[in-house]
Amino acid sequence: MTETDALYAVSPLDGRYGGRTALLSPYASEAALMRARVRVEVEYLIALADLEATPLELDLEERTHLRSLFESFAEEDAQLIKKLETEGHADFAATNHDVKAVEYFVRHRLPEESDASAWIHFGLTSEDVNNLAHRLLVRDAVDEVLLPELYDVRETLADMARDYRDLPMLARTHGQPATPTTFGKEMAVYASRLARATGRIRLATDDLRGKLGGASGTYAAHIAAYPDVDWQAFARDFVEGLGLEFEALTTQVNPCDDLAALFDAFRGANEVLLDLDLDVWLYVSDRYLGQEAVEGETGSSTMPHKVNPIDFENSEGNLSKANSDLAFLAEYVTTSRLQRDLSDSTVKRNIGTALAHCQIGYGKTAAGLSKVVPNERVMRDDLEATPEIIGEAVQTILRREGQADAYERVKAVTRGKDVTLADFRELFDELDVDEDVREELHALTPAGYTGVASELVDDMAE
Between CA 225 and CA 19 the distance in angstroms is 50
pTM of the model: 0.92
Compute how many other C-beta atoms are within 10 angstroms of the C-beta atom of residue 348: 19
Q: Which amino acid is at 76?
A: E
Judged against a pLDDT cut of 90, whether residue 59 lies above it is answered with yes
Instruction: Spot the catalytic one: 72, 174, 301, 305.
Output: 174
**Interval 110-131: pLDDT, tens:** 998 899 999 999 999 999 999 9
Q: Which of 134, 135, 128 is nearest to 103 (CA)?
A: 128
Structure confidence at residue 413 (pLDDT): 79
Compute how many other C-beta atoms are within 10 angstroms of the C-beta atom of residue 129: 23
Judged against a pLDDT cut of 50, whether residue 333 lies above it is answered with yes
Q: Which amino acid is at 374?
A: P
Compute how many other C-beta atoms are within 10 angstroms of the C-beta atom of residue 90: 10
Under the banding of pLDDT at 50, 70 and 90, the label for residue 294 is: low
Burial of 202 per CB tally in 10 Å (0-12, 13-18, 19+): middle
Q: Report yes or no: 35 and 73 within 8 Å, Cβ to Cβ.
A: yes
Q: Answer yes or no: 300 catalytic.
A: yes
Between CA 93 and CA 224 the distance in angstroms is 28
Under the banding of pLDDT at 50, 70 and 90, the label for residue 418 is: confident
Q: Output DSSP code: residue 10.
A: S
Q: Report yes or no: 38 and 106 within 8 Å, Cβ to Cβ.
A: yes
Q: What is the mean pLDDT of residues 397-401?
A: 91
Worst-scoring range by mean pLDDT, 195-204, 298-307, 345-354, 376-385?
A: 298-307
Q: Answer yes or no: 324 catalytic.
A: no
Burial of 295 per CB tally in 10 Å (0-12, 13-18, 19+): exposed
Q: What is the mean pLDDT of residues 172-186?
A: 95
What is the CB-side half-sphere exposure of residue 423 using CA atoms within 13 A?
17
Between CA 153 and CA 367 the distance in angstroms is 9
Structure confidence at residue 302 (pLDDT): 43
Burial of 386 per CB tally in 10 Å (0-12, 13-18, 19+): middle
Structure confidence at residue 3 (pLDDT): 63
What is the CB-side half-sphere exposure of residue 164 using CA atoms within 13 A?
26
Q: Which of 58, 62, 67 is nearest to 38 (CA)?
A: 67
Look at 436 and 416; give whichever has higher pLDDT. Answer: 436
Whole-number CA gyration radius for the chain? 31
210: helix, coil or strand?
A: strand
Q: Which of 376, 377, 384, 450 is nearest to 419 (CA)?
A: 384
Between CA 125 and CA 345 the distance in angstroms is 14
Q: What is the mean pLDDT of residues 397-426?
A: 85
Q: Which of 13, 3, 29 is nearest to 363 (CA)?
A: 13
DSSP letters of 119-184?
GTTTT--HHHHHHHHHHHHHHHHIIIIIHHHHHHHHHHHHHHHHHTTT-EEEEEETTEEEEEEEHH
Between CA 223 and CA 236 the distance in angstroms is 15
Judged against a pLDDT cut of 60, whether residue 277 lies above it is answered with yes
Between CA 359 and CA 251 the distance in angstroms is 33
**Interval 196-244: pLDDT, tens:** 999 999 999 999 999 999 999 999 999 999 999 999 999 999 999 999 9
Worst-scoring range by mean pLDDT, 56-60, 82-86, 307-311, 369-373?
A: 307-311
Strand partners, 245: 209
∠ CA 371-292-167, rounded to 5°: 70
Between CA 334 and CA 262 the distance in angstroms is 12
Structure confidence at residue 2 (pLDDT): 64
Instruction: Spot the catalytic one: 300, 324, 343, 370.
Output: 300
Strand partners, 203: none
Judged against a pLDDT cut of 60, whether residue 300 lies above it is answered with no
Q: Which of 77, 66, 73 is nearest to 105 (CA)?
A: 77
Judged against a pLDDT cut of 60, whether residue 299 lies above it is answered with no
Structure confidence at residue 140 (pLDDT): 98
CA 321 distance to own-chain centroid: 13
Domains and CATH numbers, the chain: 3-119 (1.10.275.10), 126-375 (1.20.200.10), 387-445 (1.10.40.30)
Structure confidence at residue 409 (pLDDT): 83
Under the banding of pLDDT at 50, 70 and 90, the label for residue 427 is: confident
Structure confidence at residue 4 (pLDDT): 62
Judged against a pLDDT cut of 80, whether residue 442 lies above it is answered with yes
Structure confidence at residue 417 (pLDDT): 77
Under the banding of pLDDT at 50, 70 and 90, the label for residue 295 is: low
Between CA 447 and CA 201 the distance in angstroms is 38
Q: What is the mean pLDDT of residues 418-445?
A: 89
Q: Report yes or no: 357 and 317 within 8 Å, Cβ to Cβ.
A: no
